[in-house]
Amino acid sequence: MLVEQVQAFLRSPDTLPQVTLPAIEAPSLEGVQVIVRGPPELDPDTLQQLYQQHLERIAPRRRLAVGEFAEPGDVVMVAMGVFTLEGAALPYTFQAPVELTAGGGWLLPEVPAALVGRTESELFDVPVVFPEDWPAAWLRGAQAVFRIRVRSIDRPDLPEADDPELLPKLGITLSLNGLMAALRDQWIEERSDELVAAAEHAALDELLGRVEIPVAEEAIEAQIWRYWARDEGSVILELEGHEADLHATLAAWLRSEDLRQQVGRAYRLAALLSAIARRSGIEVRAADLDVLIAEGAAGAGVDPDAAARAFREDPGQALLLADRALQRRIVRHVLDQAEVRIVTE
């Protein structure tokens, strides 16, 4: 049964057979031209939102125990998905973790409103009618039910916005102007990273168009199964969905031409990068691993030395890290050969 297959996969994600990439001749890197669109200017409203989000992110929080109930303003982590009024799962609607504010704003206000008074592990349904401006056009105007599982509830301790000691109470040593400048610099750095990523994507797409790389349909379907089991299948089980829900959503994922193209591109890209690495003699250096470990540690808020020790002690994680580092070096090698132009119109 599909339920048992998903459960087995979640216990050991590496149980499915790995795909052997086709060996190809790397195309020439000459003449790659890339045009990317520059970011808009940072407007005052966006900067104010960044400020508020930063304060909320660093404010101390207390994790509520089972039996303590969410109040307006509490941060609630949930797993959620949409079912029809008859109880059938709707594909592409299951996701976790999702962070919501109890009683706060959201696209469907009924959902955060229903979080008030809930406790950890509680499972409940929220009837909704999707508005006509809902992002997914196929759901507009539909009546359905959001099923929600509360994973955790945190109660933030955020001082009042007009408190003159607001920043010091949150451990911020910068002045208000200094904090705003730091947030602006961070926003610019993030947009710069996005520009680089867009340029890399475009350059690799051009190279993929220069070479034929066959990918078996069985390989594509096997990878789609992995993605579905990890993302939607696991959440359906958490929300106590049924075997029929798993089959219906998996069938929808396998029918998706967009998803097939994405997975096929990922396989072809892996074969392309492998060929470029072989021809150019690109190898992973210790410094490459150090950079990735430092970035991961910063994102997780952990000590870099502790993160480095953890990777060295886990052979599986070490291999994944080396793979990522090699891929980054190859992609940067490709971009170094490309002509990149940024447009702002």
- pLDDT tens-digit map of 233-277: 999 999 999 999 999 999 999 999 999 999 999 889 888 988 998
Res 312 pLDDT > 80 = no
Res 314 pLDDT > 80 = no
pLDDT at 343: 86
Same domain, 31 and 74: no
pLDDT at 300: 59
- What backbone phi and psi angles, to 5 degrees, belong to 150? -80, 120
Same domain, 235 and 115: no
Q: How far is CA 119 from CA 69, 70, 94, 231, 284, in A?
A: 5, 6, 21, 24, 47
**Total domains, the chain:** 2
Q: What is the pTM of this model?
A: 0.83
| Residue 89: DSSP 8-state | B
- Evaluate whether residue 176 is within a structural domain: no
- What backbone phi and psi angles, to 5 degrees, belong to 155? -105, 110
Same domain, 247 and 142: no
Same domain, 271 and 227: yes
Buried b (16+ CB within 10 A) or exposed e, 185-217: eeeeeeeeeebeebbbebbbebbbeeeebebee
Res 284 pLDDT > 80 = no
* Residue finishing a domain among 156, 174, 208: 156
Same domain, 200 and 324: yes
CATH of the domain at 140: 3.10.50.40
- Cβ-proximal residues to 316 (8 Å cutoff; 6+ apart), any chain: none
Same domain, 28 and 74: no
Question: How many whole angstroms separate alpha carbon 68 and alpha carbon 312?
Answer: 40
pLDDT at 62: 95
Segment 288-305 shows an average pLDDT of: 66
Same domain, 28 and 66: no
Distance of CA 125 to the CA centre of its chain: 25
Look up tokens 């009042």; give the residue: 160
Same domain, 203 and 313: yes
Same domain, 70 and 33: no
pLDDT at 114: 97
- Evaluate whether residue 275 is within a structural domain: yes
- Evaluate whether residue 52 is within a structural domain: no
Distance of CA 65 to the CA centre of its chain: 28
Which residue has better confidence, 19 or 241?
241
CATH of the domain at 305: 1.10.3120.10
- Evaluate whether residue 162 is within a structural domain: no
Residue ranges making up the domain that contains 145: 61-156
